[in-house]
Each structure stands twice: as C-alpha cells, then as structure tokens.
Amino acid sequence: MAHDKRLLIVEDDEAFARTLKRSFERRGYEVALADSLEGVQALLAGGSFGHAVVDLKLGPQSGLACVQALHAHDPAMLIVVLTGFASIATAVEAIKLGATNYLAKPSNTDDIEAAFARGAGNPDTPLAPRPTSIKTLEWEHIHEVLKDSDFNISEAARRLGMHRRTLARKLAKRQVG
C-alpha cells in the first residue's frame, strides 16, 4: 500500500473511531487506530503514515502532544485535528505544532478528505471584520484557559475565578468531546 494512503486515526471514542476507520477503508486507505500518545508512538515505531486524524481531547490527555509527535516523526504527514472542543487558541496551537488543518465536530469523511487536500493556505481569503459576541469571547477565553491548564477543569475554574461545577455546566452546554 502506498505511503500516502496510510492513515492513522487517533481517537478515544471507540465507536466513532471504528466508524471513521470503515469509511476511510471504503475509500482505499489502510487505516490504523490509536487512542493515546503511547499508542501513536507504538504505531510510529512500526512505520510511517501519509495522513493522520487526531482528536483534540483524548481522555485526560491533549491530542496536541500527538500532533507534535506525528509532525516530528514525519513533517510531510498531513494531520487534521478533529474536535468538538474547538477554539481559536487550540487551533493556533495545533497549526504551530504541525497540523495541516483543524475541523470542528461534527465532520464527516468528505470534510476530512477535503481538509487533507487543502494543505496550503489561501492568501486571497477575504478579510472581513468578525462580529464577536460576549458569549463567543467568553467561550474562547474559557478554552484558552483550559488549554493552558492542560484541560484540568478544577485548575481552569480556579484560574477563571469560578466554581468548578459552574465551569462544568458551561462546558456541558456546548457539547464538548
């Protein structure tokens, strides 16, 4: 199998990982699954991949460590971060660490393949002012603090000056995963 049709899916939700795997296999990819940084490292010891899909939140771990390890192993690998925990801060970090693209869930196989194809940026993208609501600013700030506290809700709540349960309720309202 060609190197460019080898895909690594890093996802801790087993059902979603299996569904994504079957979908990519129907498109001719050879797919391997991992659910942690340790799993990624074990698979990389056995070979290389042309593509990777990495979930941002892997249980207590951050998928950003996986992005960094994959990019260090093969800088040419096309890496898409797929998350239900999207924020500007984590998108910027993912790209800095070597991700090719960043998609918010729900995304399907077509979206992911299109993200692999869009490896380069578009300098002709129109620059338009983005109206930002207070709720959006709050949500982005919460995600930035969560990222800075390694997704530890108790520590993030302390840094935000709110009760842990209040933060947990806010996160539950926005389908994190």
Reported as a pLDDT band with limits 50, 70 and 90, residue 129 is: low
Q: Does 7 have pLDDT greater than 60?
A: yes
Tokens 């490292």 correspond to 41
25, 176, 89, 58: CA torsion to nearest 10:
-50
Pick 134-173's CATH classification: 1.20.1560.10, 3.40.50.10860, 2.60.40.10, 1.10.10.60. 1.10.10.60
Q: Which of 46-50, 82-86, 119-123, 161-165 has the lowest mean pLDDT?
A: 119-123
Q: Does 154 have pLDDT greater than 80?
A: yes
117, 123, 129, 134: CA torsion to nearest 10:
40
Q: Where are the domains of the chain?
A: 3-117, 134-173
How is residue 147 written in tokens?
């990222």
Q: Does 134 have pLDDT greater than 80?
A: no
SS3 171: helix
The answer regarding whether domain 3-117 maps to CATH 3.40.50.2300 reads yes
**Ramachandran angles phi, psi of 107, nearest 5°:** -135, 145
Q: What percent of the chain has pLDDT over 90?
A: 41
Per the document, the length of the chain is: 177
pTM above 0.85, yes or no: no
Tens of pLDDT, residue by residue over 51-91, are 999 998 888 888 899 999 999 999 999 999 988 777 788 88
